Amino acid sequence: MDIEKIKNDPRMPKHIGLIIDGNGRWAKKRGLIRSIGHRYGFDNLQDQIEFIQDLGIKNLSIYCFSNENWNRPKDEVDYLMQLFDEMLDKYKKEYMDRDIRINISGNMDDKRIPENVRKKAKEIMELTKHKTGFILNPCINYGGRQEILRAVNEILESGEKDIGITKFERHLYTADMLPLDFIIRTSGECRLSNFLPWQSTYSEFYFPKKHWPAFTKKDIIKALKVFMSRNRRFGAIKG
Ligand code: IPE
Ligand code: IPE
Ligand code: MG
């Protein structure tokens, strides 16, 4: 794979969204419990984040835990929260030198999230808020419809008038991020499941069959090639 060539291609996306689906099925297929799938999934995430940054992509949103995922069994939710705790420690240790801003989308005041996770999430956002090289957006306790309602309520409270698209977007978690170009959802499911509905209005979609823990750098390159072969028209007439 010619990484240098891909890196310099002007058609590369600037903002990718990853719906890291299929951890549970990946584990089940191997006779393992679902949580082991999450462990492999989150280990894989680490590799892919760094790879994506090194490719020159500027923003990455990752669906880590949806508002609806609270409907899962308590032991699975507890395990995921423990993984987020570890993930935030890792980011703090390893990403400070990588010029990464961590911008978490989702309600970090929700008391269902363990206190240490809430605290670490806020701390890392504060610590990295001036970094400009890359924005990493882990969506944790996130729901797209909830995000839109939160923005509406903020606007109502502030009394702001004449809200257009640009002003409205200032109230989204992704206010400082670039337009979402490309969404990859692994495991073959073809839906958004409440992931960035506002931001994805003009995104390109790609639904590879592989489950997330098995998704490699080669698969990322393959996905990028698919993206670059698409004809994005934005309502106009092109190509
Ligand atoms: C997605 O994998 C990861 C999270 C929800 C964190 P799933 O847990 O949804 O895996 P499947 O879809 O059940 O295989
Ligand atoms: C979406 O996956 C959430 C994450 C990947 C974190 P789900 O597995 O929860 O979505 P559904 O239930 O298949 O729609
Ligand atoms: Mg799933």
Running along the chain, 239 residues long, what does each successive block of 10 average in pLDDT?
A: 89 98 98 98 97 98 98 98 98 93 98 98 98 97 98 98 97 98 98 98 98 98 98 92
Q: How far is the CA of 159 from the centre of ligand 2 (A)?
A: 35
Which tokens sit at 65? 């835990």
Alpha carbon of residue 127 to chain centroid: 20
Beta bridge partners of 205: 183
- What pLDDT was estimated at residue 1? 60
- What pLDDT was estimated at residue 194? 98
**Coil, strand, or helix at residue 16?**
strand
- Catalytically active residues are 21, 69
Is the CB of 224 within 6 Å of ligand 2?
no
For a ligand 2 pocket test, name from 45, 66, 185, 195 the mutation site with the most ligand atoms within 8 angstroms of its C-beta.
66
Is the CB of 25 within 6 Å of ligand 1?
yes
- What pLDDT was estimated at residue 13? 98
Is the CB of 35 within 6 Å of ligand 1?
no
**Coil, strand, or helix at residue 204?**
strand
H helix intervals, the chain: 3-7, 23-29, 34-54, 74-94, 115-128, 144-158, 165-169, 217-229
Which tokens sit at 90? 């890792």
Q: How far apart are CA 206 and CA 189, in angstroms?
A: 10
Kindly report, residue by residue over 53-100, the tens digit of the pLDDT: 999 999 999 999 999 999 999 999 999 999 999 999 999 999 988 999
Predicted model pTM: 0.98
Ligand 2 atom having least distance to the Cα of 212: 5
- What pLDDT was estimated at residue 45? 98
Is the CB of 65 within 6 Å of ligand 2?
yes
